[in-house]
Amino acid sequence: MKSAPSHPSPPKILKGVPIDPALAKIINVMGSDRAQIAIADAMKRAQLTALLTPNDRLRFAVALMQTGGIFEAIGRSIKIQAILHGANGPGASD
Amino acid sequence: MLELDYDYASCVKGSEKVAWKLDDVMPEGARLDFGRPFLPAALSGQGDLPFLSAEERRMLNQITGNAYLNLFGFVAEYVIALTVEHAHAELFGDHDAIRALMRFADEEAKHQALFRRYVEAFRRDFGHECEVLGSAAEIAGVILGKSPIAGMLVTLHLEVMTQAHYVECVKDDTDIEPFFTKLLRFHWLEESQHVRIDALELDKLLSSATPEILGRAFDDYLALIDAFDGLLKTQAEMDGRAIARATGRTFNADQTSQIVAAQHRGYRHSFLVSGMTNPTFLEDFAKISSDAAHRVSHKAKELS
């Protein structure tokens, strides 16, 4: 397992496209390769193809948290960030 | 949106530069000088109460000073919860933001401990019971239940207000109790970073806010101002009872009503109007929405 960078920079750029802050958290902790797998898995479980709104991020966070372990901690942080930005869908008040 | 020219890293540096220890500012057992007023005239807001003697007016000023600091400790309860929540949202992301927010929360907890220590010293030495608002956790729940942008607007309001109080009213007033001045000075030192962090957090929330989210946030902010005003009225009524106990006098209904009205007017001016009319705060508000800034100015006039 790759260790987390000591000073992860906020939203990273990949192929000229800004990465969503929610996904950047996973990449910061897990590294790009492992993050891609975890992101794809959570996106599939949340039935999402992109993170466009705070409610999308909330759904993604809830799905990620179900993985457990460090993903649960990352998911909880993404969930709180989504709620602060206006998410109010299922899971917001849990 | 707010066009800020600082970042989280500079807030951390500023915080480290001015950091202080609780025991250095207010050692356990510190004594207050009850021969002096605690609050400057601009913040005590007693108006014209001709039926009080000079000594009784000073006692009312001290009662107000005690309530003033208790109110700071009171609001710190929700500010700590809010700041920790914002820090949690930054985990695994921006480390500078996490450090700035965690220091902010720690400093607020320290300020709360400082105000509690002060209120305890007051209770011990004033010699008469003074009621103060005590349901801080309940109020924190109300504020945290509102829109996150509204919560951050209220926090920014309170922080710019405390800055203005110290700089404009307390700093150069040599008549007021020196310990009270010292305490507010150390509070001001750390709060100056908090204002900047509030603005950074607010800016972040605004970056993705839809018109609906913003509309709800402005409504919530004004609703919280009204709720806060209700609390200030309750504190004013408590002060009315406290001054009667402290002076041993029985005020008639008209006199009691005048005392409560004067106290409420003073608290409104200090905690609500002075924040809502603060140029920095209004400027930020206008950048978000000129209509909302107009609503805030209108509300401030209504409360004046």
Q: Return the number of other C-beta atoms located less than 10 Å from residue A38's C-beta.
A: 20
Count the residues in chain B. 304
* pTM to 2 decimal places: 0.91
Q: Return the number of other C-beta atoms located less than 10 Å from residue A18's C-beta.
A: 10
Coil vs helix vs strand at B159: helix
pLDDT band at A89 (very low <50, low <70, confident <90, very high): confident
A90 pLDDT more than 90 = no
Return the sign of the alpha-carbon dihedral for residues B42, B44, B45, B51: negative
ipTM of the complex: 0.87
Determine the Cα–Cα distance for residues A31 and B162; give it in Å rounded to an integer. 44
Test the B interface: residue of A29, A53, A85 with most B CBs within 10 Å: A85
Coil vs helix vs strand at A17: strand
Chain B contact for A81 (CB, 8 A cutoff): yes
What letter would DSSP give residue A87?
Answer: -
Beta-carbon separation of A54 and B208 below 8 A: yes
User: If you search the block for the tokens 């709800």, which residue do you land on?
Assistant: B216
pLDDT of residue B44: 86
Longest dimension (CA), chain A: 36
Q: Which run of H or of E encompasses B257?
A: helix B253-267
pLDDT of residue A5: 42
A7 pLDDT more than 50 = no
What letter would DSSP give residue A14?
Answer: E
pLDDT of residue B6: 96
User: If you search the block for the tokens 């992860």, which residue do you land on?
Assistant: A8
**What does the pLDDT average to over A33-50?**
95
Chain B contact for A83 (CB, 8 A cutoff): yes
Chain B contact for A7 (CB, 8 A cutoff): yes
- CA closest to B152 among chain A residues: A84
pLDDT of residue A16: 56
Please name which of B35, B43, B177, B32 lies closest in space to residue B118, comparing C-alpha atoms. B32
Tens of each residue's pLDDT in chain B, 304 residues: 888 999 999 999 999 999 999 999 999 889 999 999 999 988 987 677 999 999 999 999 999 999 999 999 889 999 999 999 999 999 999 999 999 999 999 999 999 999 999 989 999 999 999 999 988 888 888 899 999 999 999 999 999 999 999 999 999 999 999 989 999 999 999 999 999 999 999 999 999 899 999 999 999 999 999 999 999 999 999 999 999 999 999 999 999 999 999 999 999 999 999 999 999 999 999 999 999 999 999 999 999 9
**What does the pLDDT average to over A37-56?**
95
A-facing residues of B in 89-108 (CB < 8 A) are 89-95, 97
Determine the Cα–Cα distance for residues B31 and B10; give it in Å rounded to an integer. 36
Determine the Cα–Cα distance for residues B254 and B213; give it in Å rounded to an integer. 45
Q: Quote the radius of gyration of chain A (alpha carbons, Å).
A: 12
